[in-house]
Structure 1
Amino acid sequence: MASLVKATSNVLRWEKLPFLSSPKTRHSGTLPNKASLALSASASTDTAIPIMVNTCTGKMGKAVIKAADSAGLHVVPVSFCTDKESGKTIQVCGKEIMVHGPSERESVLASVFQEYSNLIVVDYTVPATVNDNAELYCKVGVPFVMGTTGGDRDQLYKTVEESKVFAVISPQMGKQVVAFLAAMEIMADQFPGAFSGYSLQVTESHQASKLDTSGTAKAVASCFQKLGVSFDMDQIQMIRDSKQQIETVGVPEEHLAGHAFHLYHLASPDETVSFEFQHNVCGRSIYAEGTVDAVLFLAKKLKSKAEKRIYNMIDVLRDGNMR
């Protein structure tokens, strides 16, 4: 597995599975009249950073919109969702957001980008669309924050590197969790083999809608591998059953639809010594706030025309300007 912090040429990657390009590529496209009018009405007067949240109908997307609105960012009234949701108008934080299906993505995104030259896209979709979405953002030339997990991560980075689009890519947007992961990586680098011979059990519990294994769990497990633990990622126990989450994991019932509970248990060969590491998150605010910080960070890098173009949440943490 790749390390939590891996240098590849001038790109610092934070992965376990593995704004604006210059010159800017413009594409023609026409929004439906209502959306076009809504964009035009605010484009000339709004000086806040404009963000487009895909998808606005999901719980994570709604949490990001709420955090962005509180931070003074301008949420553009357009979003990509599924064919089933296409054509709907969604109310989020008192805002009306028009939803467009996959077939309209390129023309709609190009039109929004034409209205807002400093647009940043936030992606919280599903693993199956990660690579297609990234290819679209890079084709249009719009910078983006990718919080969606899964997909072909090596191909994701290759696509962005070749396009020279600015992006923050991270399977974990919670700032405090990222700091913990960074500390784990430092320990693994400084004390390789410190846990040689120890056994490891990893349990992760998320809402039933999360289909893939937690990237955070894989990241921590990878650190323990460096510390000498023999462990296969397939051994990570995914818990998605609500009854088991309540009775065994201890997830509050009101947070079954949005939580991230992780437990790492290590035991010495003779089982006379054990260590446990645990981090539990209820709700989505920690990720939404981190996403807003990532947007602000990326906007600053765009403004300064930074040489480096691909970032992760460790870069955001190191920048030291979080709210």
Structure 2
Amino acid sequence: RRSITMVNSCTGKMGKSVAEAAVSAGLQLVPVSFSAIEVPDGKLNICDRDIHIHDPSESERILRSIAKDYPDMIVVDYTVPDAVNANAELYCKLGLPFVMGTTGGNRQLLNKTVQDANVYAVISPQMGKQVVAFLAAMEIMAEKFPGAFAGYKLEVMESHQATKLDVSGTAKAVISCFQKLGVSFDLNEVNLVRDPEEQLAIVGVPEEHLGGHAFHNYHLTSPDETVSFEFQHNVCGRSIYAEGTVDAAMFLHTKIRSGADKKLYDMIDVLREGNMR
């Protein structure tokens, strides 16, 4: 049986991308989503499918109802940071397996909620599989060779669409690895590029992706400035995250079908499974 997915919320750019990727991958898309954003006729058309948009205040009542119609449903959450914990509590209360792609919220509480409820879930602030693999490699290096870059100077530049105000979670994780490798660096030193003109002229972001991109550059220089290392990962658009999210939903579907003892997973678990598109 194919995986059945409900995307909460399809009205956001990320949720819409995930819904499109799910249909493209052959998953069955539940024609219901929740959003405080009003849409014409209360419907959104995605890949020739009408998705009925309901107010979040109705989510418990409607989720209870559609869970009966779609007993194998997996919920994918791309909402807002403020809703992360309440949404997870609702999914757990109803026994609904879910993939949490939304960043923010209280992550410790989020994990505890899932563990206490014993519900299947994939939780990751970074759904891009290749970016996760790069992060994992950085963590292995930091663990195996602590202090390897002691004395080196680190410069970090990260560029995202203007609506992203904070330092990206991925940059924070990579910086943490460099700190374990012996580099002295403070998060306030990150060069946050959010000005579209600067992104075009200096960073090199293609114009069509100014509204959705993630460019990261980490530059290391030796104390005597004779040696330098550069790590870079540039993402245009949202397809890398959407495809990773769909893989996470399919992975979770497989774990549920096999009755796996482990219930809470992250993207490293999905990567280890290996059968990614």
TM-score class normalised by the smaller sequence: over 0.9
3-state SS, counterpart of residue 257 of structure 2: helix
Deviations 1:185-241 (A, max 9, x none): 111111000011212122211122334321111111111011011122333232222
CA separation of 1:109 and 1:294: change in aligned 2, threshold 3 A: same
> Which structure 1 residue ranges, 4+ long, deviate > 4 Å from structure 2?
83-87
Partner of 2:66: 112
2:57 is matched with which residue? 103
Gaps of 5+ in 2: none
Counterpart residue identity of residue 201, structure 1: E
3-state DSSP class of the match of 1:315? helix
Aligned to 1:225: 179
Of stretches 80-89 and 196-205 in structure 1, the one that deviates more from structure 2 is: 80-89
Tell me which amino acid in the other structure corresponds to 2:89.
E
2: CA distance, partners of 1:115 / 1:211: 40
Name the structure 2 match of 1:74.
28
The Cα offsets for residues 80-100 of structure 1, whole Å up to 9 and x where unpaired, read as 112545972001111100111
Partner of 1:65: 19
Check conservation: 1:150, 1:212, Cα contact below 8 A.
no
**1:171 — aligned with what?**
125
CA contact (8 A) 2:11 2:37 kept: no
The alpha-carbon deviation at position 128 of structure 1 amounts to 1.8
**Is residue 203 of structure 1 aligned with residue 149 of structure 2?**
no
Number of residue equivalences: 277
DSSP-derived class of the 1:204 partner:
strand
Distance 2:195 2:4 in 1: 38
How large is the RMSD of aligned CA atoms in angstroms?
Answer: 1.5
The one-letter amino acid of 2:145's match is F
Paired letter, 2:234: N
Pairing of 1:130-141 with structure 2 (within 5 A): 130-141=84-95
What are the ranges of 5 or more consecutive residues in structure 1 without an aligned counterpart?
1-46
Q: Quote the Cα distance in structure 2 between the aligned partners of 1:320 and 1:157.
A: 24
DSSP-derived class of the 1:231 partner: coil
Q: Structure 1 CA distance, aligned partners of 2:269 and 2:88?
A: 20
**Counterpart of 2:192 in 1: which secondary structure?**
strand
User: How far is 1:164 from its partner?
Assistant: 0.9
Do the aligned residues in 2 keep the contact of 1:77 with 1:96 (CA within 8 Å)?
yes
Code of the aligned partner of 2:219: H
Match of 1:183 among 137, 141, 162: 137
Matched residues, percent identical? Answer: 67
Give the TM-score normalised by the residue count of structure 2.
Answer: 0.95
* CA shift digits 1:225-283 (9 cap, x unpaired): 11011122333232222112111211001011111100111122232322111110111
Please tell me whether the aligned partners of residues 87 and 100 of structure 1 are also in contact (alpha carbons under 8 angstroms): no
* Whole-Å separation in 2 of the counterparts to 1:238 and 1:295: 32
Distance 2:222 2:125 in 1: 31
* Residue 227 of structure 2 is aligned to residue 273 of structure 1: yes
Alignment partner for residue 258 of structure 2, among 282, 287, 304? 304
- Are the counterparts in 1 of residues 80 and 103 from structure 2 also a CA contact under 8 Å? yes
Which residue of the partner structure matches residue 214 of structure 1? 168
CA offsets, 1:266-322, max 9 Å, x none?
A: 122232322111110111111111111111100011011111111111101101111
What TM-score, normalized by structure 1, do the two folds share? 0.82
Contact 1:91–1:97 at 8 Å: present in 2 too?
yes
Say if 2:186 is the partner of 1:253. Answer: no
